[in-house]
Structure 1
């Protein structure tokens, strides 16, 4: 009987959900779904690898989304608001080639990895770009959270 209780305790211990995701405290969880038609001239540059676009439509992310084609059939989508402070008047980042720059602190992020390229070494916690789901079906790219 003693081993039964130990076994039950062991099962409960490892069956508990421990959500390892560490979401950004500055950016809210925004639920949205947006489709990009690669046949439209506005999104035509996404037909080539490494040509990012900014989608600033209302209801798409917090401050919009950056989308980049990362491979033959793969796309990445990232939040356009700087991940290292609350959204404000300077937090919408701008494209600089395959990187984006936050004008508040001049932080630079890579759109292929989402990582901050010029992370200060001051002991504070810094966040990488907030990632959104991007899937392709034919000529339609669906971005969602």
Structure 2
């Protein structure tokens, strides 16, 4: 009988401890839910551009890309890429794997890769998937675009 009482006390002590550790593990794993480093800036993204304007002319063709550094386009701006006739990719220009500083603004290289000058990390422009160094894909944002109208307005948001 003493054995069962002792076992019950151990279980009563162990179960709450295991539960606390499980909850902490779950909360910690949700800290990088957007798959970026924990110091990645969380900024409001709300940009509206007319791709018919000369500054955005490259976005009318598949494979075209531009930098956007307008108000509410994040801390370093955005890279907009025309992935297909009916889709865009919108990437943040902050490197997703290291804390931002002056050398971590991402740049497009050769029309196919995005690079970080600080550590030479690379991502594929077409998909945002990491090519070298970074374990994280590029941070992407949502967009809306009516491909069946003549308005040519691209709305970007998070």
- TM-score by structure 2 length? 0.71
1:59 to partner: Cα distance: 2.6
Q: Which has the larger radius of gyration?
A: 2
Once the two structures are superposed, what CA deviation does each residue of 1:7-49 show, in whole Å capped at 9, x if it has no partner?
Answer: xxxxxxxxxxxx7x72222312212210110111000100000
Structure 2 residue 122 is matched with structure 1 residue 108: yes
Question: In the alignment, which residue of structure 2 is the partner of 1:39?
Answer: 52
Distance in 1 (alpha carbons) for counterparts of 2:121 and 2:66 = 19
Q: Which protein has greater RCO, CA pairs closer than 8 Å, 6+ apart?
A: 1
Once residues 98 and 26 of structure 1 are traced to their aligned partners in structure 2, the CA distance between those partners, rounded to angstroms, is 27
Structure 1 residue aligned with 2:6: none
Aligned residue among 140, 146, 152 for 1:131 = 140
2:130/2:137 contact within 8 Å kept: yes
Give the alignment's TM-score, normalised by structure 1.
0.77
Tell me, which stretches of 5 or more residues in structure 2 are unaligned?
Answer: 1-29
Unmatched tracts of structure 1, length 5 or more: 1-18, 121-125
Structure 2 Cα separation of the partners of residues 143 and 58 of structure 1: 12
More helix by percentage: 2
CA distance in 2: counterparts of 1:91 and 1:110, whole angstroms: 17
- Paired residue for 2:88, among 45, 56, 75? 75
Q: Once superposed, what is the RMSD of the aligned Cα atoms?
A: 1.9
Given that residues 33 and 143 in structure 1 are in contact (C-alpha distance below 8 angstroms), is that contact kept between their aligned partners in structure 2?
yes
Q: Equivalents in 1 of 2:64, 2:45: separation in Å?
A: 23
